[in-house]
Amino acid sequence: MHIHSLYRLNPTCPLHPTPPQSNLPPTPTGEAKEWIPDLVARAKALKVNAGHVPGTDVGPVISVQAKDRINRLVESGESRDI
């Protein structure tokens, strides 16, 4: 067994430390930018409603903190011209 496989479930491998996590969404580059219009169209077609209502794709935002986080992520994307 390779030494790195021992750390698969424990990300504290001294040879390959886990990079710090970011709350920012990834920035699409290269070919990924080509599917942004399709992604936007699909997002606009989502049905937002109470989570228990049949046909609902996305439930409501659950707290003020969640709404603030969503707004920060959107603003971050806008500032990076995503």
Coil, strand or helix at 48? strand
Cα gap 79→27, rounded to integer Å: 11
Number of compact structural domains in the chain: 1
Task: Determine the structural domain holding residue 14 and report its residue range.
Answer: 3-79
Q: How far, in Å, are 18, 31, 82 from residue 21 at the CA level?
A: 8, 24, 20
Query: For residue 66, how many C-alpha atoms fall within 13 Å in the half-sphere facing its CB?
Result: 5
Structure confidence by residue, pLDDT tens digits, 18-76: 555 666 666 667 777 788 888 889 989 999 898 889 999 988 888 889 889 989 988 98
